Amino acid sequence: MSRKLQGLGLAALLALALNAGAAHAQAAAEATKPTITPRYDISKEMALNATVLSVPSKSPGRLLQSGSDPGFVLQTTSGLVQGRLTPFVLNEKNGLSITAGQHVQVTGVMMTVKNHKQVFVIRTITVGGRTYAIRSERGYPLEHPGQSASATTASKGGQL
């Protein structure tokens, strides 16, 4: 059974078009720098000032009730934004304390994910006067956001 490629195929083809060579050259000691488009493209980062409307709940049964929890929703001057945290941000240990009604500043990239949802993938979040990096510059989650040093990377994009 053949199934249609979704965003994955398009992204991969785009990567192919931009790619100038293989990502992995083991014969040489020097790593070949890949030219694949990063899934998290820091050049498209922007900063948002927002008020937290909701944070993800920890109620059970979430896999089978996808969509029932609004998740991390931010109110910006331009409207509502669906924020994407990392699985580790709200951990009891090494996590952050974020509550509805708080004012936050987030930097990240707006991305389209599965099922065509638009989410703002957050890399840094400033809450309570402190800035935390929750992802690497390639978008990989950091497991210890609560322990991270204040992020100082300037936003390279605009603001909503």
Partner 1 sequence: MNRKTLCIFILALGMTYLSGCGGSNNNAILVNISTAPPGILAPGAAAVPVAATVIGDSKNAGVAWSCTAATAGDACGSFNPMTTPSGTPTMYSPPPTAVGSVTITAASVTNSAAFATANVNISTSGGLAGNYSFYVSGTDFNAVYSLAGSVTIAADGTLTGEQDYNDASGITSPEPGGDMITGGSLSFDPTSGLGTLTLITNNKNLGANGTETLALNFVNNNHALIIQVDGSATSSGSFDLQTLPSTPAGGFAFAVSGAGNTAKTVFYGGVFTLAGSSLSSGIFDKNDAGSASVHNSFTGTLSAADSAGRGTLTGTGMAGTIAYYIVGPEALRLIDVDSSSTFVGSAFGQGASAGTFTTASIGNSVFSIQSNFAGVTLYAAVGQIVPSGGSFNGVADVNEDLVGFADKQPITNGTFSVGTNGYGSLTIPLGQLGDVSALGIYATDPTLNLNDPNNTTSPGAGNTFASALVVDLDMNAAGSGVLVPQTDNATASFAGNYALGFQNLIDDGISISGELDFVGNATATANAPALLTGSGVVSDPFLLLGGASFLETATFTSPITPDTANLGRYEINPFSVTVQTVTTPIPYLAVAYQASAGQLFWLEDGADGQTSVFSGQIQQQSLPLGAAAKKAAAKQTPKP
CA distances from 153 to 48, 113, 132, 140 (A): 14, 25, 11, 16
Residues that bind partner 1 in the complex, under the rule CB under 8 A: 1-3, 5-9, 11-13, 15-16, 19, 22-29, 31, 34, 36, 38-40, 56-57, 60-66, 69-72, 82, 84, 87-88, 91-94, 113-115, 117, 119, 121, 135-136, 138-144, 147-148
Virtual CA dihedral for 10, 16, 18, 22, nearest 10 degrees? 150
**Cβ 74 vs Cβ 120: under 8 Å:** yes
- CB of 133 vs partner 1, minimal distance in Å: 10
Q: 138 or 156: whose CB is closer to partner 1?
A: 138
- CB of 70 vs partner 1, minimal distance in Å: 7
Q: Which residue's entry shows tokens 């990392």?
A: 86
